[in-house]
Amino acid sequence: MQLIDGKSLSKKVQDYVKSEVEILKTEKNMVPGLAVVIVGDDPASHAYVSMKEKACKNVGFYSIAHKMPDTITQDEIINIIMMMNKNPHIHGILVQLPLPSHIDTNRLLEVINPVKDVDGFHAYNVGRMVSNLDSFVACTPLGVMKMFDEYEIELEGKDVVVVGASNIVGKPMASLLLNKNATVTVTHIHTKDLASHTRKADIVIVGVGVPSLIKEDMIKEGAIVIDIGINRLESGKLVGDVDFENVAPKCSYITPVPGGVGPMTIAMLLENTLHSAKQFGEKI
């Protein structure tokens, strides 16, 4: 069994981004800029935004967080996004999810200029990704693909089960795998007998937010398990969606929680923002 170390790979990506930022500063007098919109006071969302701000500072990005009360109207948020669309110093815009119930999430995401949609959630980028065209891709699935590349894990012809069908993780994950010629089964909360699918899989990727959902008897010997879930138990311990202690001995590769997929999400956000800045730089 080999651990897939997302923490060290994330550092490798961030070191690359940092070096590229220095080149942009020197050759084009440009600093990549990332703007975050956060609404309300959800502690987990604010923690994520703080981590993103710290990562931006580490690689030399300009970053700004528009922190708004949950009483703000949808039109007010749209106006702020449109202002950032026009700002030449902002190359990436992301809206921290989830949003309060009175806000139409899809409407907000579609207001973002697709060339600044570094979260890869705009329908334009989703459509291009599904068509295997160049696009911004959702950061968590993109991070998983980066892991497969780093550890030279072949996907072509592999039977892969994706547990979870969200627009943020499950659906883009399945599309990226299909683009690599894997055979993909997508399961979700309405799937009957989940174990009958996962037991046959060469690779299981799970991200649904249910602690220890994937048990030892649901995985075949030598399988690769990617755990995207992150859950905080009453004890304060962070765990994934996989019963790691019992599943790990059966795996050829497995991601830990924490230290697996999580760090890769922010690394891919930085890489996407760098890519956006470079595209902008080519136009000036």
What are the catalytic residues? 52, 96, 119
Backbone angles phi, psi at 200, to 5 degrees: -95, -5
CB 100 within 8 A of CB 40: yes
- From CA 33, how far away is CA 91, in angstroms rounded? 5
Beta-strand relationship, 183-187 and 159-163: parallel
- The closest alpha carbon to 271, from 61, 124, 96, belongs to 61
- From CA 276, how far away is CA 115, in angstroms rounded? 7
Query: Left if phi > 0, otherwise alpha if psi is -120 to 50, otherwise beta: which for 40?
Result: left
- From CA 85, how far away is CA 98, in angstroms rounded? 21
- From CA 34, how far away is CA 13, in angstroms rounded? 17
DSSP letter, residue 230: -
Residue where the block lists tokens 């980028």: 125
Backbone angles phi, psi at 242, to 5 degrees: -115, 140
Q: Residue 232 in 3-state DSSP?
A: strand
